[in-house]
Amino acid sequence: MTLSEAVTDGTACTLVDYASIQDDPLIRQAIGVLEERLFKRGASLTSPAAVREYLRLKLAGEALEVFAAVFLDSQHCVIAYEPMFRGTIDGAAVYPRAVVKRAIEHNCAAVVFAHNHPSGSTEPSQADKAITTRLKSALELVDVRVLDHFIIGDGIPFSFAESGLL
């Protein structure tokens, strides 16, 4: 399938090749630079803007919804970034039990969540709000703090923390 396809009425339409966005060497290099800055031992998340941009680069090109977590130690140093659940064009099933399990395996003290909306809208749905509340409650039981949850779409990512939803 090429990027330009004829639609049934004969007009040409350009499709975005989302898979190739993260295959682009320049984007891979940008992600690598951000990972190096964020994930080097001793680097803590003192800049929400850097985290936002890193998550934006990681998730903006995904054609389907992806729910990811950044696991942090007690000094907010990055332990790991993991895309945890993949879904469809308008949703992903997120299982708190699996998130708690990974948090314990990483021995983390805090976590930042992010997911993309392939539609481009960064407004949180009721399901987004509900799963964030469930995850926060589940992780509190094992002394892991949820610092933020970003929704990546067109424009500036939505922050649950900055919006007072966390």
Residue (of 66, 57, 24) closest to 38 by Cα position: 57
Could you give the CA distance from residue 92 to residue 110 in angstroms, rounded to a whole number?
Answer: 22
CATH 3.40.140.10, domain 4-159, yes or no:
yes
Residue ranges for the chain with pLDDT beneath 50: 1-19
Give the pLDDT confidence of 25-70 residue by residue, as tens digits: 777 777 667 666 666 555 556 667 878 888 988 898 889 999 999 9
Q: What is the pLDDT of residue 53?
A: 86
Q: What are phi and psi of 120, to 5 degrees?
A: 100, -25
Domains in the chain: boundaries: 4-159
